[in-house]
Amino acid sequence: MVIAAASVVFGVIAWVLQNRENKEINQARLFMQIFDRHFEKETRENIHYLDNIEYSDYDDFIDKYSEDNNPDGYIRISSLVTYYEGIGVLVKRNLVDPTMVDDLMSGPIIRNWEKIRDHVEESRRRTGHYESAEHFEYLYQVIKGIRNKQRETAGLPT
């Protein structure tokens, strides 16, 4: 009886450890896919493009970067926002460790969200699509929090 109970306990412990290991392996695989995509030429060009856009307000953004007025710019921006949206979903669902994402791409995530935040917020107000870029915004908040905590620990300004 004791041997049977010990076998069950050992089996449960082994199962828990195996599941934890599988989760870590799956997170590493997803992270490597994010990593690979992040360093593709197209993604790097889109990050550079978004880093360098300039607009004064929502209407100016639409004049310069809407699908009708600037199809290439629109595709570059929306492709990058969609990429960040996907990463935000993975982080929110605990499928990817946010500290790994922070290690790889905190700079572009923070810069790019801060670059288009005003446009996204005004777009939400005007269209009523309050879910627009919500996972990109979530990703920004998580990554900004990690970065701020790291900077505080290092004695740097946040």
The pair of structure tokens assigned to 46 is: 């889109």
pLDDT of residue 13 exceeding 80: no
pTM of the full predicted structure?
0.84
C-alpha–C-alpha distance, residues 35 and 19, integer Å: 24
What's the whole-number mean pLDDT along residues 63-84?
A: 97
- Binned at pLDDT 50, 70 and 90, residue 115 comes out as very high
pLDDT of residue 9 exceeding 90: no
The pair of structure tokens assigned to 155 is: 């004695």
pLDDT of residue 3 exceeding 70: no
Neighbours of 38 (CB within 10 A): 16
Q: What is the pLDDT of residue 55?
A: 97
- Binned at pLDDT 50, 70 and 90, residue 30 comes out as confident
Q: What is the pLDDT of residue 11?
A: 57
C-alpha–C-alpha distance, residues 101 and 116, integer Å: 20
What's the one-letter identity of residue 64? K
Q: What is the pLDDT of residue 37?
A: 93
Please give the share of the chain, as a percent, with pLDDT higher than 70: 87
Q: What is the pLDDT of residue 155?
A: 87
Neighbours of 61 (CB within 10 A): 20
> For all residues of the chain together, what is the average pLDDT?
90
- Cβ-Cβ contacts under 8 Å for 132 (sequence gap 6 or more): 120, 123, 124
b vs e for 111-134, b when ≥16 Cβ sit within 10 Å of the residue's Cβ?
ebbebbeebbeebbeeeeeeeebb
